Homo-oligomer: A and B are copies of this chain.
Amino acid sequence: MYSEKDFKEKIAELLVVRASAHLHDHQREYPKWELSNKKLHRLLEEGVGGVILFGGSLAELSERCKNLNSWAKNSLLLCADVEEGVGQRFSGGQWLAPPMSLNKIYQKDSQAALNFAELYGRCIGLEARRNGLNWVLAPVCDVNTNSKNPVIDVRAWGDDPLIVSALTCSFYKGLSSQGVIACAKHFPGHGDTEIDSHLALPTLEHDLKRLMQVELVPFRALISLGIETVMTGHLLCKQIDHKNPATVSKLIISKLLRQELGFKGLVVTDALIMGAMTKAYGSTEAAVMAFDAGADLILMPDNPDQAIEAIYQSLLSGRIPMDRLENSLQRRRNLITKIDSFSKLPSTQPLALRTHDQKFRYQTNSLCHDLVVSSMEVLHPGSIQEVNSGLNLIRVDGVIPCSPLHRTSPSISLPEDIGYRTILIHAMGVSPWTEDSNAPLDIDRLGNGPVLLQLFLRGNPFRGDNDFKEPWSIILNQLQRLNRLAGLIVFGSPYIWKDLKSNLNPYIPAAYSPGQMDEAQYQLLTSLIAPCGDNIKLKSNLDKEFTI
């Protein structure tokens, strides 16, 4: 039997706490959720066994992981939500086009898509490992059968279970080959939901038969390949367990996932801090319930000390049998052994400017380029002409920060080169709306001239369905009636693109990419814009800009 201190240290091993990759406390982007260095240092010394990292640059991430390892009593699990590339979370890393791009490629050439998926996994795995991470929280295995899904959308590999299986399996092979652990999420499947579990609890109405035919297919495939971890979703799967959401459901975790699907690896909860959990149970009780239900790793409890104490009391009181702890610890030891065995693999230099790394950067840039070009759609290429005075109307989620845009983004600079001045529509801006439901855009306020409309719309957490309520298809008709639509570009959701495309006048230049990064912007805009005069390649507006 352990002493109280040893006992709590064992429990602490099973926690994964959140930290910023920024080095200083004052730089944390979410100080409420990201622990201070002091607290983090203490918790790691007291045995906490995992950290999930957000924000900062690649150089900071490397430095940070070294620091965390030096503080930790135990071998650490260091993970991040880098589903679309390390650059999705850490500046300087590669941000690839989202998984939905691979699905678009699969429609045309399945083998090419499978090859891309493996490269996609290799790219993320290599960059994660070289910068200190040993666990990537991907692939998303949700089969996105609901086009109104507010939070999965382009993060999914498709809406067909077999295609999602095939692509995520290729991804997993690529990722594994680089020596990092993977995570299939969000069990038993977050694809057919219309509620964002960051805000409230979504419900899944399907019975086991349907789940076996759709939602569970990719999970089964990855389990058969030996995927190391599975993340539970915060969703109520009514027909399996009418009371407890998956994260705290014995029926889902212990019965369905472990017994029926035969999963032998680690089960990790989704972040306990999310609305779906905190509203129903509070994050500390949710931690106890999840552990009791069979989860091995507890992700982001609101208060790690309280979570440890509460699990400790539950074990002491016999509410949770002691072998739950032993089993989870044994699984974690197996995982650490596997991670240690990876250290024999080559190529873990973290640094960025060696020849070796330039080659890596070149390869991942090429991959990103290929993904974008293979998954984009362009109607009437080369047909947007130079104008005297046009409007480049860009819709983004937010501006501080604005993740897809910066000062020299192609979506801004290329239209400026041909006479379109940029106006950003975003949640904190002056309203562009009228009260007229047939003409919702206050076009007079925006100014004269043709309008190039660029929409950055994709499933994003914490926004609910707000993004899908903006009446873009009515606005499209409004601009077309006025004969002012010069072009339409959608970056993100394939469902919104499909809907808008069906409303487009046949001669309107338009384009779509699942991706929102610079490469997607560059490819779509250079495809649509007519070559002007002598310039075959568009000049950018970079030479107008300069500091001090």
Contact = CB atoms under 8 A, between A and B. Distances in A.
Interface of A: 22-24, 26-27, 29-33, 37, 54, 56-60, 63, 67, 81, 91-92, 198, 271, 273-274, 351-353, 358, 361, 365, 399-402, 405-409, 412, 422-426, 428-432, 442, 445-447, 461-462, 518, 542-543, 545-548
A548 B271 contact: yes
**For the complex, would chain A's binding face be called helix, strand, loop or mixed by DSSP majority?**
loop
A31 B542 contact: yes
A435 to B, nearest CB: 11
Nearest to A93: B24
Given A32-B545, A37-B353, A37-B358, 4 more contacts: A30-B542, A56-B57, A198-B548, A429-B429
A461 B424 CA distance: 23
A408 to B, nearest CB: 7
A408 B423 CA distance: 24
Contacts of A422: 428
Nearest to A58: B23
A56 B91 CA distance: 9
Contacts of A352: 23-24, 63
A548 B57 contact: no
A399 B543 CA distance: 20
A421 B412 CA distance: 28
Contacts of A54: 547
A59 B23 contact: yes
A27 B424 contact: no
Contact of A431 (B271, B407, B445): B445
Return the 3 tightest CB-CB contacts between A and B, nearest first: A32-B542, A399-B399, A23-B352
A548 B29 contact: no
B545 A30 contact: yes
B59 A462 contact: no
